[in-house]
Amino acid sequence: MMTLDEIADLDRSRYTRLFSLLQPHLDEKTKRLVGAAMADSVGRGGQRMVQEITGLSSHTLKRGHDQLTGVESVPKDRIRRVGGGRQSITETYPDIETARLGLVKKSPQGDPASP
Render pLDDT for 63-108 as a digit per residue (tens, 0 to 9). Answer: 999 989 888 877 777 766 666 667 888 888 888 888 888 777 766 6
| Nearest CA-CA partner of 18 in 50, 47, 66 | 50
Domain interval for residue 20: 1-75
Residue 35 CA to residue 53 CA, distance in Å, equals 9
The whole model's pTM is what? Answer: 0.62
Region for 84 from its dihedrals, namely left if φ exceeds 0, alpha if ψ lies in -120 to 50, beta otherwise: beta
Residue 17: pLDDT band with limits 50, 70, 90: very high
pLDDT at 8: 72
40 CB burial (10 A radius; 0-12, 13-18, 19+): middle
State the pLDDT confidence band at 35, using cuts at 50, 70 and 90: very high
Q: If we measure between CA atoms, which residue out of 41, 86, 49 comes closest to residue 68?
A: 41
State yes or no: pLDDT of 115 exceeds 70.
no
In a domain, 39, yes or no: yes
> Is 103 within a domain?
no
Does residue 97 lie within any of the structural domains? no
Q: Please check whether residue 23 lies inside any domain of the structure.
A: yes
- Are 36 and 72 spatial neighbours (Cβ–Cβ below 8 Å)? no
> Helix (H, G, I), strand (E, B), or coil: what is residue 72?
coil
Q: Is residue 28 part of a domain?
A: yes
List, for residues 40-69, the tens digit of each pLDDT value: 888 888 889 899 999 999 999 999 999 898
Count of domains observed in the chain: 1
- Per DSSP, the three-state class of 17 is helix
